[in-house]
Chains A and B, each alone.
Chain A
């Protein structure tokens, strides 16, 4: 059987994943603020209500905590809810239900219950999203035993990982970076699953291990050609799954390269990057040729004005600089690797805000 593939955007791939899940299994439902809006969560939920009806696809009152509890209760009775938050920041209102209930019910009732819910959280950036519309909460959620945390980077992965999340029997936090939404990729039609807990080696290499997640993987990917021209062999790992984390993939790579750089979309203190470096130091310290490094956001809330954000988000040039330092090698990079954009605070000219 040949599987048809098509070129679609990240946003369309999410939409495709939900449609595929809802067609396979009647117990899948999808709701959240804006799910049935004309814009359908940046296109990711457009057409779902028309196709599957308002019993299974609906907008909600601004009651993030209750609707999370509702998802948990429905899940205890066999429903598989997909709950959407247009900005991850609003999921902070769900922490009581997510941490005290979703993360606990399987364990504290000793396996009698399971809580198959998927929370889609969209991470904002740029165009002045500012302090409360651009938080990266992966470290916070992955700290909690009982939750799974996913951060896809590619259009192919987002569909396969979302399908795996919806049909996983545990609560999943699914973090989608807004700047990835327009990324185009070749995506198979129908159902395919990417296993949760498996990282992906995007580029094989010998000199340095770079571990990325979400949009930071894309920043690193932009560099691979330049690094290669400079005879630097970079092993780029896309984490994909924050929790459970693919320790083996990271450790095997560091054993080979002896150098580790971690790229995190969040701020530094207590970050996933910190966890990865700890893991490597504990598990394969003797293989390290030097201190591992991490590139993160500053330990500050994200400011709004473009004047304040011009250097707030580390980009590919920063990654290149750190790799150059770590390998004591000058890197020539005359070529502009990506199309020029009008301003630093947008991913491309396709993004005109407002959010």
Chain B
């Protein structure tokens, strides 16, 4: 891997981290009045996969989508403005944190019902196939989404129709407070189950952005070569509470060892360790640039107007 790719991966990881931390810091001001699921700890999954996609490839996601939106190239000002409920937000204040979109970046939408965008992503890829497009669709979801019926229906349909779609399961082991072992048989691996359903499937350390990128890049190429749908399970850790700005380590639903391990598996630290060529001065200049970008986005959001109340009654139907 050359230094410029590593630098870009680092920059994307840090961009998500800084923005998410800023949201977390400011959330208690009560100006961002919507349920917000932060992705601190899970940045590498989004960054590694999105780095293997181009702007014309599509992505969709679920309730925890900031990192996918950012990694896919979504507009940052519009993201923060959306959290503030402003008219300049990506969804004009109608969506909030859980309903993000940036068509210019190929980020086609995220929504809150678990697994709800999985068939939508499959439909995007059906359209790409019908048009003989060279592009693919990437569907981001969590481990709990693999418990919904529509997940199995979608996997089957994608396999049947041999569609250009990449399923990315970010397995952080927790559905809110409930551990995977209480939801799925422990002896069964998600990616192996999907493999048995007829889709070539892979797993990877989802905190190691270089591994994720290398694997996703390889997989994306095969999909673009017409080799059909693929499935990638990325093992990662959610650092904060399921929904909200805080750590919830004190609640005891995660063991102390598990918490300690997750912090050691910090995607940013792993990349720094794997890529010592990234100089401190380079890292500092990236950090400075991103701090400025983030600060500007919050200023943009704060200074933007709220939508006029009448906007609540628009855009329901096309005519």
| Interaction A to B | yes
Q: Are B124 and A108 in contact (CB under 8 A)?
A: no
Residues on A with C-beta less than 8 A from B131 are 77
Which of B108-116, B182-190, B220-228, B252-260 lies at the interface? B108-116
Contact residues, B107-144 vs A (CB, 8 A): 108-109, 111, 113, 116-128, 130-131, 137
Interface range on chain B: under 10, 10 to 19, 20 to 34, or 35 or more? 35 or more
User: A354 within 8 Å of B by Cβ?
Assistant: no
CA distance A244 to B209 in the complex (A): 50
CA distance A150 to B128 in the complex (A): 30
User: B92 within 8 Å of A by Cβ?
Assistant: yes
> Per-residue 0/1 for A38-77: is the Cβ within 8 Å of any B Cβ (1 yes, 0 no)?
0000000000000000011000110101111111111111
Residues on A with C-beta less than 8 A from B154 are 63, 66, 69-70
Residues on B with C-beta less than 8 A from A76 are 108-109, 120, 123-124, 127
B319 to chain A: closest residue by CB: A169
Q: Are A100 and B116 in contact (CB under 8 A)?
A: yes
Q: Which one, A72, A96, A110, A148, contacts B91 given CB within 8 A? A: A110
A72 to chain B: closest residue by CB: B120
Minimum Cβ distance to chain A for residue B210 (Å): 31
Residues on B with C-beta less than 8 A from A65 are 119, 149-150, 153
Residues on B with C-beta less than 8 A from A109 are 90-91, 94-95, 99, 101, 109
Q: Are B124 and A67 in contact (CB under 8 A)?
A: no
Given contacts A69-B123, A148-B317, contact A96 B108 (CB under 8 A): no
Q: Which one, B92, B99, B122, B314, contacts A66 given CB within 8 A? A: B122
A115 to chain B: closest residue by CB: B318
Q: Which one, B95, B122, B315, B318, contacts A70 given CB within 8 A? A: B122
CA distance A101 to B124 in the complex (A): 14
Q: Are B150 and A97 in contact (CB under 8 A)?
A: yes
Q: Which one, A63, A69, A79, A145, contacts B120 given CB within 8 A? A: A69
User: A29 within 8 Å of B by Cβ?
Assistant: yes
Given contacts A106-B316, A110-B92, A169-B318, contact A77 B156 (CB under 8 A): no
CA distance A114 to B160 in the complex (A): 27
Q: Are A112 and B113 in contact (CB under 8 A)?
A: no
User: A146 within 8 Å of B by Cβ?
Assistant: yes
Q: Are A69 and B150 in contact (CB under 8 A)?
A: yes
User: B103 within 8 Å of A by Cβ?
Assistant: yes
Minimum Cβ distance to chain A for residue B17 (Å): 27
B157 to chain A: closest residue by CB: A66
Given contacts A72-B120, A104-B111, contact A77 B315 (CB under 8 A): no
User: A168 within 8 Å of B by Cβ?
Assistant: yes
B96 to chain A: closest residue by CB: A108
Minimum Cβ distance to chain A for residue B231 (Å): 16
Residues on A with C-beta less than 8 A from B93 are 110
Given contacts A63-B153, A110-B92, A110-B94, contact A73 B123 (CB under 8 A): yes
Minimum Cβ distance to chain B for residue A59 (Å): 10
Given contacts A97-B116, A106-B317, A146-B316, contact A70 B91 (CB under 8 A): no
Q: Are A73 and B124 in contact (CB under 8 A)?
A: yes
CA distance A244 to B314 in the complex (A): 15
Contact residues, A125-159 vs B (CB, 8 A): 145-146, 148
Minimum Cβ distance to chain B for residue A143 (Å): 14
Minimum Cβ distance to chain A for residue B242 (Å): 20
Minimum Cβ distance to chain B for residue A197 (Å): 9
Residues on A with C-beta less than 8 A from B160 are 61
Q: Are A63 and B128 in contact (CB under 8 A)?
A: no
Q: Which one, A29, A96, A244, contacts B150 given CB within 8 A? A: A96
Q: Are A77 and B103 in contact (CB under 8 A)?
A: no
Residues on B with C-beta less than 8 A from A74 are 123-124, 126-127, 130
Residues on A with C-beta less than 8 A from B128 are 77
Contact residues, B278-319 vs A (CB, 8 A): 311, 314-319
Residues on B with C-beta less than 8 A from A113 are 101, 103, 108-109
Minimum Cβ distance to chain B for residue A194 (Å): 15
CA distance A113 to B117 in the complex (A): 14
User: A107 within 8 Å of B by Cβ?
Assistant: yes
CA distance A111 to B153 in the complex (A): 29
Q: Are B315 and A73 in contact (CB under 8 A)?
A: no
CA distance A244 to B317 in the complex (A): 10
Minimum Cβ distance to chain B for residue A101 (Å): 6
User: A78 within 8 Å of B by Cβ?
Assistant: yes
> Per-residue 0/1 for B200-214: is the Cβ within 8 Å of any A Cβ (1 yes, 0 no)?
000000000000000
Given contacts A108-B94, A110-B95, contact A66 B119 (CB under 8 A): yes
CA distance A67 to B118 in the complex (A): 11
Residues on B with C-beta less than 8 A from A168 are 318
Which residue among A72, A78, A105, A110 has the maximum number of chain B CB atoms within 10 Å of its CB? A110
Q: Which one, B130, B149, B316, B319, contacts A55 given CB within 8 A? A: B130
Minimum Cβ distance to chain A for residue B213 (Å): 26
Q: Which one, B101, B122, B123, B316, contacts A75 given CB within 8 A? A: B123
CA distance A109 to B126 in the complex (A): 22
CA distance A156 to B113 in the complex (A): 40
Residues on B with C-beta less than 8 A from A66 are 118-119, 122, 150, 153-154, 156-157
Q: Sorted from nearest, which 6 A-B pairs have the closest CB atoms?
A: A73-B123, A69-B119, A66-B153, A110-B92, A63-B153, A169-B318
Q: 11 new A-B pairs (CB below 8 Å) besides A68-B119, A73-B124, A79-B127?
A: A65-B149, A66-B150, A69-B119, A73-B125, A74-B124, A77-B127, A97-B116, A106-B315, A108-B99, A109-B109, A170-B318
B residues apposed to A, CB below 8 Å: 58, 60, 90-95, 99, 101, 103, 108-109, 111, 113, 116-128, 130-131, 137, 149-150, 153-154, 156-157, 160, 311, 314-319
A-B contact list, 25 entries, CB within 8 Å: A61-B153, A63-B153, A66-B119, A67-B153, A70-B126, A72-B123, A73-B125, A74-B130, A76-B108, A76-B123, A77-B58, A96-B116, A97-B119, A100-B111, A100-B113, A101-B113, A101-B120, A109-B90, A110-B92, A110-B94, A112-B91, A114-B318, A168-B318, A169-B319, A170-B318
